[in-house]
């Protein structure tokens, strides 16, 4: 029987922009079951989940290809419900498809949280220069900068949406280069391998993309 991996997006499933690349890493012998915190909701209902002034801003993708901002406080209970639903289906583990930090999520089976994987890898790598961080919108720059500083890094944070028209890679690379980066992390699950490859070629420094890194960790967990 194939191992079954649950994947929960904070937006709507299926995540055709992310999951196929992760599935390529996991291989054909792994079944992926997707759920979304916003599944089944219309525009008015999604609008009610918009971030309030004191809430953390998250951005995600809908099935029509558009992106939307939601508040972490509003969406977290819905993420938890999707995790419980996947647990009930008997998945081997569940992956949260978001690099934001969530406190208190619970699962009966192993729960894979990308923010912890990114942090663990970066703490285990020594490099010259500052940490470059791509974040998905200007609204994320300040909290992303604060979060990575709290983890002991000196980040250069640049906004570049993985979902909408963003600044050309050359412009993003120039900003990171001017900040003296020696390592770059694409800090949103929606960033793509192609964006990583282009940025790495422009900067000639290591660049990691969250969804592929997480997929490789999941593949290793499944092999044990």
Residue 67 has phi, psi (to 5 degrees) of -120, 160
pLDDT band at 1; cut points 50, 70, 90: confident
| Alpha carbons 162 and 151: distance in angstroms, whole number | 24
| Alpha carbons 72 and 51: distance in angstroms, whole number | 7
pTM passes above 0.85: yes
| Per-residue tokens: 169 | 């890679």
pLDDT band at 168; cut points 50, 70, 90: confident
Kindly give the pairing relationship between strand 67-71 and strand 57-61: antiparallel
CB atoms within 10 A of CB 19: 20
Residue 166: pLDDT over 90: no
CB atoms within 10 A of CB 145: 17
Q: Which pLDDT score, from 0 to 100, does residue 201 have?
A: 96
Q: Tens of pLDDT along 103-119? A: 999 999 999 999 999 99
| Per-residue tokens: 71 | 């508040």
Kindly give the pairing relationship between strand 93-97 and strand 111-112: parallel
Domains of the chain: 4-113+212-223 (3.40.50.1860), 117-209 (3.40.50.1860)
| Alpha carbons 125 and 175: distance in angstroms, whole number | 23
CA–CA–CA angle 48, 52, 54 (5° rounding): 155
Residue 87 has phi, psi (to 5 degrees) of -55, -45
Percentage of the chain beyond pLDDT 90 is: 94
Q: Tens of pLDDT along 15-73? A: 999 999 999 999 999 999 999 999 999 999 999 999 998 999 999 999 999 999 999 99
Q: What is the mean pLDDT of residues 196-222?
A: 97
Residue 167: pLDDT over 90: no
| Alpha carbons 18 and 96: distance in angstroms, whole number | 12
CB contact at 8 A, 78 and 46 = no
Q: Which pLDDT score, from 0 to 100, does residue 192 have?
A: 94
- Looking up tokens 């009966």 gives 108
Q: Which pLDDT score, from 0 to 100, does residue 138 have?
A: 95
pLDDT band at 199; cut points 50, 70, 90: very high
Q: Which pLDDT score, from 0 to 100, does residue 125 have?
A: 96
Q: Tens of pLDDT along 68-107? A: 999 999 999 999 999 999 999 999 999 999 999 999 999 9
């Amino acid at each position: 029987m194939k191992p079954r991996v649950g994947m929960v997006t904070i937006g709507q499933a299926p995540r055709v922009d992310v999951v196929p690349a992760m599935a390529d890493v996991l291989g054909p012998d792994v079944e992926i079951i997707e759920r979304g915190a916003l599944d089944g909701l219309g525009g008015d209902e999604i609008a009610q989940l918009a971030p309030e002034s004191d809430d953390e801003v998250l951005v995600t993708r809908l099935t029509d290809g558009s992106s939307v901002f939601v508040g972490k406080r509003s969406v977290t209970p819905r993420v938890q419900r999707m995790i419980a639903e996947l647990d009930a289906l008997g998945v081997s583990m569940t992956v949260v498809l978001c690099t934001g930090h969530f406190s208190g999520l619970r699962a009966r089976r192993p729960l894979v949280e990308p923010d912890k994987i990114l942090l663990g890898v970066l703490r285990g790598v020594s490099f010259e220069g500052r940490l470059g961080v791509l974040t998905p919108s200007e609204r994320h720059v300040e909290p992303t900068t604060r979060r990575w500083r709290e983890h002991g890094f000196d980040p250069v944070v640049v906004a570049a949406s993985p979902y909408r028209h963003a600044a050309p890679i050359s412009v993003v690379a120039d900003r990171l280069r001017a900040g003296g980066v020696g390592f770059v992390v694409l800090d949103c699950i929606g960033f793509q391998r192609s964006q990583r490859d282009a940025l790495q070629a422009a900067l000639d420094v290591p660049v990691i993309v969250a969804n592929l890194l997480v997929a490789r960790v999941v593949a290793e967990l499944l092999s044990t």
